């Protein structure tokens, strides 16, 4: 019998990191455990904070908002729910908001006198933190008698194979050790480090979501407020007097498109005509080694799909990967005009804007893009080009801020709080600053700031980089089992979430209510793989007793 069975006939698995990905694993462990009441399962959850919320701390201020619509978030699988027919189903985020009578004011902040949360709202992130914590407690209530879940408010710093038997020996940050049959690593994004800001002049490098959050922290977070007016942006900023002078710039100078406004009753996206799974499979059959060149083979399909939605239209105008070119002194006016035009497009919603429909191909066909890219689906040179240029472009087209953020930005420019500079203008004459904030999401690959656990696994050769930077996440197989430095699968180590970015594409999101949501399907596949391995252990044990 395996030494890790501290209690006879109990099998033990660990989930390291209990954010949204950890919740998905726990849901599938509980749901599939119903099939075998004879298997006693102990799930050890390791997370230094309250389980469920991950980075979405319930203590965050309201001005830090989600970039996913309320109606597109769910912690639970629609295809494979953990609940039995006589048990209540898990709530989507929107259902949870309605159940808790959550109401918002016109700025999208919590207000008991406001209106109910709607499908298209970008709600405060702290609400999601509360929802995910409630989702964890809901799953605990679903556990059958033969499944036990224990939370350890500890980090894991070491993970070594158990001597002479399957499974791992885990080492906690406090030195405690524990033997387990299998490990799910679902640690998510590294926490964003808060930079101390001193001085009256602050430069922010970045134009994406993190930069917009930083702007909010340096304005609303310091006591400023917005009041309604009749300007293009619809708001006027009232400074508190504590704000620094802010210089906003990026290396490319290319802004992100704002998220389109949701319209009640808007139709679902039309099925793709050109950029389809069948088209990708056909290209693979024509390739000598089955691998594709993104620019030569995949991008033309995306461009054709974009044209099919927008009619007379040149996608290349919007597929710009080179930095902004022009006179630095003209950039701020160009930027403002671009943002104003993009706001008008965003307010139209998707159905009324053929341009938005064309851009949304990069979101609507994301699973087809995964089919092309995942598990070394592109050539080595092409995977580097994709992650260096095209993935960032896709994010700029459909992963930009809410329109409210751009309304705020224009109001801050009008108030003289923010100046927007051309890419190299930050180093030009007359521009001085006391602090520089690099407002970018921390890199999740193995070349970034790694945790002690990832360092340990990498040192042992239990994991390896899928590709060179920036596609250097942990390589996994199709069951999300880690692949070691020798190319062999680690049969008891599953890795899911941002840590595998590069091995698979687009892992940094909260699951959706869609039955085809990849995050939830990956969790199902990984747990099935785990329980199959545990079944072998039980069979072997029965043969020896």
C-alpha 459: how far from chain center: 27
Spatial contact of 55 and 84, defined as CB atoms under 8 Å apart: no
The residue extents of the domains of the chain are 443-507
Spatial contact of 49 and 18, defined as CB atoms under 8 Å apart: no
Q: How high is the pLDDT of residue 457? A: 97
- Calculate the dihedral angle through the C-alpha atoms of 61, 67, 69, 70, rounding to the nearest 10 degrees: -30
Name the helix (H) or strand (E) containing 526.
helix 518-543
C-alpha 201: how far from chain center: 32
Q: How high is the pLDDT of residue 195? A: 59
Q: How high is the pLDDT of residue 194? A: 55
Q: How high is the pLDDT of residue 3? A: 37
Name the helix (H) or strand (E) containing 537.
helix 518-543
Name the helix (H) or strand (E) containing 225.
strand 225-228
- The CA angle 336-338-342, to the nearest 5 degrees, is 115
Q: How high is the pLDDT of residue 1? A: 36
Spatial contact of 417 and 236, defined as CB atoms under 8 Å apart: no
Q: How high is the pLDDT of residue 311? A: 78
Sheet strands (E) in 64-162 = 103-104, 115-116, 147-152, 156-161
As a whole number of angstroms, the distance between CA 305 and CA 273 comes to 7
Spatial contact of 177 and 162, defined as CB atoms under 8 Å apart: no
List of the chain residues with pLDDT < 50: 1-7
> In terms of C-beta density within 10 A (0-12 exposed, 13-18 middle, 19 or more buried), how is residue 485 classed?
middle
Strands 182-185 and 177-180: what pairing?
A: unpaired
pTM of the shown model: 0.94
Q: How high is the pLDDT of residue 198? A: 67
Sheet containing 156-161: give its strands across: 156-161, 168-172, 177-180
Q: How high is the pLDDT of residue 450? A: 78
């Amino acid at each position: 019998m395996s030494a890790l069975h501290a209690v006879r006939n109990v099998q033990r698995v660990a989930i390291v990191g209990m954010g949204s990905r950890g919740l998905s694993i726990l849901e599938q462990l509980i749901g599939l455990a119903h099939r075998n009441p004879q298997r006693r399962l102990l799930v050890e959850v390791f997370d230094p904070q309250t389980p469920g919320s991950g980075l979405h701390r319930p203590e965050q201020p309201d001005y830090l908002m989600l970039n996913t619509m309320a109606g597109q978030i769910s912690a639970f699988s629609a295809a494979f729910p953990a609940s039995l027919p006589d048990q209540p189903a898990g709530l989507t985020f929107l259902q949870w908001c309605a159940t808790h009578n959550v109401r918002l004011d016109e700025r999208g902040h919590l207000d008991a006198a406001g209106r109910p949360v709607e499908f298209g709202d970008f709600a405060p992130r702290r609400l999601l933190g509360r929802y995910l914590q409630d989702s964890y407690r809901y799953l605990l209530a679903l556990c059958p008698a033969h499944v036990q879940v224990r939370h350890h408010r500890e980090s894991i710093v070491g993970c070594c194979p158990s001597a002479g038997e399957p499974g791992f020996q885990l080492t906690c940050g406090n030195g405690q050790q524990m033997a387990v049959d299998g490990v799910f690593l679902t640690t998510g994004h590294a926490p964003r480090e808060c930079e101390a800001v001193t001085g009256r002049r602050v430069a922010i490098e970045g134009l994406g979501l993190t930069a917009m959050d930083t702007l909010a922290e340096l304005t609303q977070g310091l006591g400023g407020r917005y009041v309604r007016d009749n300007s293009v942006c619809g708001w006027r900023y009232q400074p508190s007097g504590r704000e620094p002078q802010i210089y906003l710039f990026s290396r490319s100078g290319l802004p992100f498109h704002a998220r389109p406004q949701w319209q009640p009753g808007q139709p679902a996206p039309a099925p793709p005509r050109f950029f389809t799974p069948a088209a990708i499979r056909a290209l693979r059959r024509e390739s000598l080694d089955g691998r594709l060149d993104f620019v030569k083979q995949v991008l033309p399909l995306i461009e054709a799909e974009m044209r099919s939605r927008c009619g007379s239209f040149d996608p290349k105008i919007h597929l710009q990967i080179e930095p902004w070119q022009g006179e630095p002194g003209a950039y701020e006016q160009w930027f403002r005009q671009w943002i104003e035009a993009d706001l008008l497009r965003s307010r139209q919603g998707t159905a009324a804007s053929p341009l938005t429909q064309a851009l949304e191909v990069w979101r609507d066909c994301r699973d087809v893009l995964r089919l092309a890219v995942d598990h070394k689906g592109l050539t080595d040179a092409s995977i580097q080009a994709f992650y260096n240029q095209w993935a960032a472009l896709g994010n700029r087209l459909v992963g930009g801020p809410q329109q409210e953020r751009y309304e705020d930005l224009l109001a801050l420019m009008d108030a003289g709080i923010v100046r927007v500079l051309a890419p190299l203008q930050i180093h030009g004459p007359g521009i001085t600053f006391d602090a520089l904030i690099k407002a970018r999401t921390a890199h999740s690959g193995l070349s970034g700031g790694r945790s002690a656990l990832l360092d340990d696994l990498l040192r042992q050769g239990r994991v390896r980089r899928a590709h060179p930077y920036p596609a250097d996440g942990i390589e996994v197989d199709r069951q999300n089992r880690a692949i070691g430095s020798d190319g062999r699968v680690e049969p008891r180590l599953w890795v899911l979430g941002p840590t595998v970015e590069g091995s698979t594409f687009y892992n940094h999101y909260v699951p959706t209510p869609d039955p085809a949501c990849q995050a939830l399907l990956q969790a199902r596949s990984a747990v099935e793989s785990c329980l199959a391995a545990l079944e072998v252990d039980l069979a072997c044990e029965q043969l020896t007793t």
